[in-house]
Amino acid sequence: MGDFHHNEQDLERFRSRVLIAGAGVLLLFALLFARFFYLQVLQHEYYTTRAESNRISLVPIVPNRGNIVDRNGVILARNYSAFTLEITPAKTLGLEETIDGLAEIVEIQVKDRRRFKRLLEESKNFESIPIRTRLTDEEVARFAANRYRFPGVEVKARLFRQYPEGTLAAHAIGYISRINAKDVEWIEENGHTANYKGSEHIGKVGLEQHYEFELHGTTGYEQVEVDAGGRAVRVLSHTPPIPGNNLTLTLDTKLQQVAEAAFGTRRGSLVALDPSNGAVLALVSAPAFDPNLFVDGIRFDDWDELNNNPDKPMLNRAIYSAHPPGSTFKPLMALAALTQGKRTTTQAIADPGYFNFGNHRFMDDKVGGHGMVDMWKSIVVSCNTYYYQLANDMGIDNIARFMGSLGLGSRTEIDIPGEATGVLPSPEWKQRRFKKREHQKWYAGETISVGIGQGYNAYTTLQMAHALANVLNYGRVFRPHIVNTIQDPSSGEERKVEPQPVRQVALKPEHVDFIKRAMAGVNKEGTGARAFAGAPYESGGKTGTAQVFSLKGQKYVAGQVKERLRDHSWFVAFAPVEQPRIVVAVMVENGGFGAASAAPIARQVFDYYLLGKLPGGPAPEVEAPEDGPQQALENGHGQD
């Protein structure tokens, strides 16, 4: 019986323990359920987002960049598709071994390796970097057969930028190159970061830079479902990219060719404008560079060559190099005098061959002077004395005000970046320019050299062409522009760039016409006559010479001065005189007299533009005009 009780007791205890265990089971399961409730109800949205971002990856599709064509439809920049061999460093087993292995299959030169190394330094480890571009079909096939040996290496079909005309108009067109950290900042500042996902190239110079956001297009994307290994499983949605806009230029490729060829091996720049609307017909900076070199990352030796070349081929001389305009300044001075009522056209001076101011004697370029000189003659024979007096009578403030109204000393706002402002001298400018008190004061003597385009004067070739165009246009100022229309390739819609004048300078037509006639005289019987001998059209021009360094009283003889220290040669011109269709400014570095070096270039450009006549070779140097034996001056030795 005791046993039975014992058993009963045991059974009771057992059952109570089973109950306790059962309660524990329910409690812990309730805990689990609470956890599930927390995850699946309270935190459901959070985890849904996490699951979605786990699985969905946005793959950007880079749009086709817009093409650039000249006014006649000649292609200057386009895209073509080619195969590249690319390495994602993070996915390779060993970078050096991979490249060595690849070199056995496709040709990889030392310069390819160098470029790869440079790109590697600029990019992140998981980016795909080209080791070879433009693979041949055979190379693609050979790699495909060996692909398994090279994890992290892929052949990709990519669009490349191509500039079919090579160096032609390179400074105007610019180039694209790989996006660097500074570009990323710029993109961010402009709020385009999202649109550049996946983009690897960006316009660096010229139109490619200025119109970057027009040319780029809108990036499309694919929503791709990816698995845990990052492999795309399927495409969920596809938003196609919108190709970038095409640019049609005002530039005339043929004219550009003629202008570039006219320079030959000389350094310098030329800007040709249509004076009626500011359209740029040609923009030369010689020597030029080949923009194609930059597209897939410039090779080290090419870069070295471009950077260390003493001729500075990367420099856009037409818009960035500012020089004293020399005598090309004189027609503008004459117009200023007429406009401000300081001279009439018939007022004449007796030129003794010098102009005395205080203790200084400013020399004319002709010993003994030009005799009686009125305004017409002052331009045709380029008389310094006339302008020494004129400048002194006008005063620097009047000169600066007038020249400033024509656009000198400020950016023309042409649609390529990197323009220099130049220097429009004035007492205010001097005060800003110099820090020391004693340097800030403006001396009346300085005004006198400004009057003949020397002294502190410094303008770009573009500014000189622009100022003359503004005069020829009777004061209507157009912004110079290279792009004529921007075309949306998908809709065909075209936007024309700025046909309206930006401001009007108050000029009297009869004053302008007088200046035009006087400049026509230059090409007929003055300093430009030799270069324009026998031209079947009537043109106007003005030569100029800008000194590179002061000889301090010695006589300037071109042959005795080192080539790089020789004077710069200027020529501004327009044609035909009645209804000017083209205006040019030419600057030949160290070209000597403007009449000798720069004027013949303008002649070739006009001959082609007005007559369709192609020159036989670079513009010849013509002899300096007889009336121009160069006299050493204190402030400007070479005036013609």
Partner 1 sequence: MDRIKRWARQILAHLDIPLLLVILVLMVFGLLTIYSATASGGFAKLDNQLVNMAVALGIMVAVSQTPPQKLMRFAVPLYLTGLVLLVGVALFGIVVNGSRRWLSLGFVRIQPSEIMKIAMPLMLAWYFHKYESVLKLKHFAIATGILLLPIVFILKQPDLGTSLLVGAAGFFVIFLAGLPWKIMFGLGAAAGAALPFAWNMLHDYQRRRVLTLLDPSSDPLGAGYHIIQSTIAIGSGGPFGKGWLEGTQTHLEFIPEKHTDFIFAVFSEEWGLLGNGILLLLFILLIGRGLMIAAAAPTLFSRLLAGSITLVLFIYAFVNMGMVSGILPVVGVPLPFISYGGTALVTLMLGVGMLMSIHTHRMLVKK
The catalytic site residues sit at 327
Rule CB under 8 A: say whether 33 interacts with partner 1.
yes
Please list every residue from 52 through 91 that binds partner 1, using CB under 8 A.
52, 54-55
Q: Work out how close the CB of 147 gets to partner 1 at its nearest, in angstroms, rounded to a whole number.
A: 24
The two tokens of residue 621 are 């140097």
SS (H, E, C) 201-260: EEEEEHHHHHCHHHHHCECEEEEEEECCCCCEEEEEEEECCECCCEEEECCCHHHHHHHH
3-state secondary structure of 78: strand
Q: Which of 116, 96, 112, 105 is nearest to 145 (CA)?
A: 105
Residues 523/573, Cβ–Cβ less than 8 Å? yes
Question: Interacting stretch for partner 1, rule CB under 8 A, among 38-46, 179-187, 288-296, 604-612?
Answer: 38-46
User: What does the alpha-carbon distance between residue 289 and residue 450 come to, in Å, rounded to a whole number?
Assistant: 35
- Does residue number 229 form part of the binding site for partner 1 (CB under 8 A)? yes
Q: In terms of Cα–Cα distance, which of 252, 245, 176 is closest to 582? A: 252
Q: How far is the CB of 61 from partner 1 (least distance, A)?
A: 22
126 binds partner 1 per the rule CB under 8 A: no
Our CB check for partner 1 shows the closer of 40 and 218 to be 40
Q: How far is the CB of 88 from partner 1 (least distance, A)?
A: 19
Q: Kindly state whether residue 125 participates in binding partner 1, applying the rule CB under 8 A.
A: no
Among 1, 5, 8, 39, binds partner 1 (CB under 8 A): 39
With a CB cutoff of 8 Å and minimum separation 6, the contacts of 11 are none
Is the CB of 28 or the CB of 611 nearer to partner 1? 28
Q: Which residue has the tokens 């205080």?
A: 358
Can you tell me whether residue 57 is helix, strand or coil? strand
Nearer to partner 1, 229 or 616 (CB): 229
Q: Is 43 in the site for partner 1 (CB under 8 A)?
A: yes
- In the set 44, 361, 508, 555, which binds partner 1 (CB under 8 A)? 44
Q: Judged by CB under 8 A, which stretch of 223-231, 260-268, 434-442, 511-519 contacts partner 1?
A: 223-231
For 557: left if phi > 0, alpha if psi spans -120 to 50, otherwise beta; the answer is beta
CA dist 57 and 112 (Å) reads: 33
269 token code pair: 């720049």
Which residue in 8, 227, 397, 513 binds partner 1 (CB under 8 A)?
Answer: 227
User: What is the rounded end-to-end Cα distance, in angstroms, of the chain?
Assistant: 145
Per-residue contact string for residues 177-196; x = within reach of partner 1 by CB under 8 A: --------------------
Binding region for partner 1 (CB under 8 A) out of 225-233, 320-328, 457-465, 629-637: 225-233
By C-beta, is 58 or 184 nearer to partner 1? 58
**Given the rule CB under 8 A, which of 8-16, 356-364, 474-482, 511-519 is the region that contacts partner 1?**
8-16
How many residues interact with partner 1 (rule CB under 8 A)?
A: 39
Pick 57 or 431: Cβ nearer partner 1 = 57
Report whether 623 contacts 608 (CB < 8 A). no
Q: Return the number of the residue (3 or 121) whose C-beta is nearest partner 1.
A: 3
Beta carbons within 8 Å of 165's beta carbon, 6+ residues apart: 74, 76, 253
Segment interacting with partner 1 (CB under 8 A) among 3-11, 251-259, 386-394, 553-561: 3-11
Instruction: Determine which helix (DSSP H) or strand (DSSP E) holds 12, and give its type and residue range.
Output: helix 2-37
Residues 10-29 that bind partner 1 (CB under 8 A): 10, 13-15, 17-18, 21-22, 25-26, 28-29
Whether residue 586 contacts residue 601, with contact meaning beta carbons closer than 8 Å, is answered with yes
Q: Which phi and psi angles does 633 have, rounded to 5°?
A: -125, 165
| Contacting residues toward partner 1, per CB under 8 A | 3, 6, 10, 13-15, 17-18, 21-22, 25-26, 28-29, 31-33, 35-37, 39-41, 43-44, 46-48, 50-52, 54-55, 225-229, 233
